Amino acid sequence: MPLWIPITIAAALCQNIRTTMQQKIRGILSVDGANFVRYLYGAPLALGMLAFLVFGTGRQVPHISLAFLGLVTIAGVAQIVATSLMIHSFSLRNYAVGTVYSKTETVFVALFSTFIAHESLKLGAWIGILVCLGGVAILSVRGSFANVRSVLADLTHKGALFGIASGAIFAVAAGTIREASKLLPEGDFMIRGITTLACMNTIQVVLMALYLARRDRPQLGKVWFNWRSSIWVGIFSVLGSAGWALAMTLENAALVRAVGQIELVFTFIASHVVLKERPSAGEWIGSILVIGGVVLILIVH
């Protein structure tokens, strides 16, 4: 099995945990405050990973060019904006609607890879991506096909528009992370992936801190005061982001993000194993579609 696959699955699991925790602290923090904790507590961990690789294993930090810094800045800003749009879409409609439409990211990433990065996908991979997206839509509304129709029919609702916008901008982030890692001339995939992540997270902390200091200064105090709950968002965020960065250093970003849709299957499993809820037929179908789409992508790849 290629190394990027288990790394992607681990990243999806961490992202699932982070998103759940981030949604919980929305009752304490604003949209931007909840977004900020992801980077504030994640950046030191990313820098710590980089320090361990350099001083603990003898690896060398790759040469960092202005073009690389430009791309990671674009990726960092795109990730900030996309995350804020996604969290905002949750508050405008509900978690299911925001999730369904933000997951259109996989299609946008595939378009980015094909037409901008010139890493074209096979027809089977495109089919697999669309099958995964269908499964995600079903799982996001807990297996209710009637709710799937209502969610997809209401494209003009602000929650849907914010969700689609977040998916498109997340795709920009994923594509530029992949392109940035390709600009690092030396080192194995691990040092290149973590260098990309550490630079991006550091830039994100600086930009968001400046933004909050100017637009919503009280949030800075709230983020610090609620560090016990916020720090876990940062921990699982950096673990997930490290996984995505490493996987995208190894493989086409579109394939990585498509396999990452298995994140919704983890939600399905957790709700029924931990909460002892009885799964509906629709949820089983949604899970099978996501897994089937992932398998199809891996077979044709």
State pLDDT tens for residues 251-293.
999 999 989 888 877 777 766 665 566 667 777 887 888 889 8
Using pLDDT thresholds of 50, 70 and 90, give the confidence band for residue 193.
Answer: very high
pLDDT at 195: 96
Q: Which residue has the higher pLDDT, 257 or 21?
A: 257
Report the chain's mean pLDDT, rounded to a whole number: 84
State pLDDT tens for residues 4-20.
999 999 999 998 888 77
pLDDT at 169: 95
- 144 Rama class: left (phi>0) / alpha (psi -120 to 50) / beta: beta
Q: What stretches of 183-280 show up as alpha helix (H) in DSSP? A: 189-215, 218-225, 227-250, 253-259, 263-273
Using pLDDT thresholds of 50, 70 and 90, give the confidence band for residue 51.
Answer: very high
Say yes or no to pLDDT of 67 above 70: yes
Q: Which residue has the higher pLDDT, 223 or 240?
A: 240
Out of 40-44, 173-177, 297-301, which region has the weakest mean confidence (pLDDT)? 297-301
State how far the alpha carbon of 197 is from the alpha carbons of 4, 178, 295, in Å: 16, 11, 28
pLDDT at 154: 61
Highest mean pLDDT among 152-156, 168-172, 221-225: 168-172
Using pLDDT thresholds of 50, 70 and 90, give the confidence band for residue 2.
Answer: confident
> How crowded is residue 271: how many other Cβ atoms within 10 Å of its Cβ?
15
- For the segment 162-186, the average pLDDT, to the nearest whole number, is 91
Q: How far is 229 from 216, CA to CA, in rounded Å?
A: 20
Using pLDDT thresholds of 50, 70 and 90, give the confidence band for residue 156.
Answer: low
| Residue 206 CB-half CA count within 13 A | 8
State how far the alpha carbon of 39 is from the alpha carbons of 13, 59, 209, in Å: 18, 25, 10
Which residues are CB-contacts of 233 (< 8 A; sequence separation ≥ 6)?
Answer: 18, 21, 22, 25, 34, 37, 38, 41
- How many secondary structure helices (H) and strands (E) does the chain include? 16, 0
pLDDT at 143: 59
State pLDDT tens for residues 133-149.
888 777 766 656 666 66
Angle (CA) 22 83 143, round 5°: 70
Which residues are CB-contacts of 70 (< 8 A; sequence separation ≥ 6)?
Answer: none
Q: How far is 19 from 13, CA to CA, in rounded Å?
A: 10
Q: What are phi and psi of 218, to 5 degrees?
A: -60, -25
Say yes or no to pLDDT of 110 above 80: yes
pLDDT at 203: 96
pTM: 0.85
Are 248 and 30 a contacting pair, CB within 8 Å? no
Out of 32-36, 51-55, 106-110, 199-203, which region has the weakest mean confidence (pLDDT)? 32-36
Element (H, E) at 16: helix 4-24
